[in-house]
Amino acid sequence: MSESGSKAKKKEYHSQDSLDPKRRDCILEYSKNGKLPCAVAFQIVENMGMPANEIGKYTDQMDIRIVKCQLGLFGHRPVKKIVKSGEPVDEPLKKAIHQKIIRNRLSCIDAWKIASEFGIGKLAVSSACETLSIKINSCQLGAF
């Protein structure tokens, strides 16, 4: 299925009628030029008491793109991703990552948890994954 066909199917699945007006208006208020930064999306999640993946459903339906991934994986202009590899990964961090990976992938939420446990930035965890050739998947907002 083409990308445009896939988007059309998503839109069909997420009917405009099913969007809560308060939540829709909040997302519209905080988005700019059809884009909503990841960090702002999580502020909405907290303020509106809605599940993170629901933001993804709303933004899909509303043609709003999630940008500026807090893990540095997408939506950073002028480059697509800002995460870098190459820095040596210390053993405790490497062990924590390897304990959570499934099929050489670490979920977004587990990356966030590891960052919190180690008191480091989310970007540091994604950079460690990049160095270790581990992909991050399962975006909490449904962007990837």
Domain positions in the chain: 3-67, 91-137
pLDDT at 3 over 80: no
What digits encode the pLDDT tens for the residues 79-93? Answer: 888 998 888 999 999
Distance CA 95, CA 30 (A): 38
pTM recorded for the entire structure: 0.84
pLDDT at 116 over 60: yes
Give the other-Cβ count within 10 Å of 25's Cβ.
11
What digits encode the pLDDT tens for the residues 67-82? Answer: 999 999 999 999 888 9
Across 3-13, average pLDDT: 45
Distance CA 137, CA 46 (A): 22
